[in-house]
Amino acid sequence: MEDLNARIDALKRCLLFRNLSFAQLELVASAVEPLKFAAGDTVVAENSFGNTLYVVVEGQVSVVKSIKDKEVLLTTLGPGDYFGEVSLLDNNPRSATVRCDGPGVQLTMKKGAFDALIETDPRLGVRLLYALNRAFCLRLRTADQKIVDLCT
């Protein structure tokens, strides 16, 4: 995954980056770093502070939340999915734990790299912030529906 083109291909599969031009994808691809994980690795821990967005390239992760001293599976994510996007915009603790179900590779983008992209290319910044906003809306609507389903 050291190859810039491989990173670009991986980013194209992620909803956050699908509407970017090739030149913008190149900028983003140069701002991300690949990380390998083993089965059982905790990528982020609930209530810890973080500043990194993760894009799943290979493998699968489980997103779990501690509720009344037990872990509840919120969702599983696979290639093309992402998590940690909130940490790019706020300084609050992580809302859930993300753990690798098996070996995998993820692309990571630190807040500093994200901020530099926005400053370097304002149009890219607008597209990324718009995509993040749409993602937040989708996740909020999904959570709202889960609450309705639990209450009915």
Residue 1, pLDDT score: 59
Contact 103, 38 (CB under 8 A): yes
What are the Cα distances from residue 106, in Å, to 29, 55, 102? Answer: 12, 5, 12
Predicted TM-score of the model (pTM) = 0.91
Domain map (residue ranges) of the chain: 4-151
pLDDT in tens, 64-75: 999 998 999 999
User: CATH homologous superfamily of domain 4-151?
Assistant: Jelly Rolls (2.60.120.10)
Place of tokens 């070996």: 103
Q: In this structure, are residues 96 and 63 in contact, taking their beta carbons and an 8 Å threshold?
A: yes
User: According to the model, what pLDDT value does residue 89 have?
Assistant: 85
pLDDT value for 142? 87
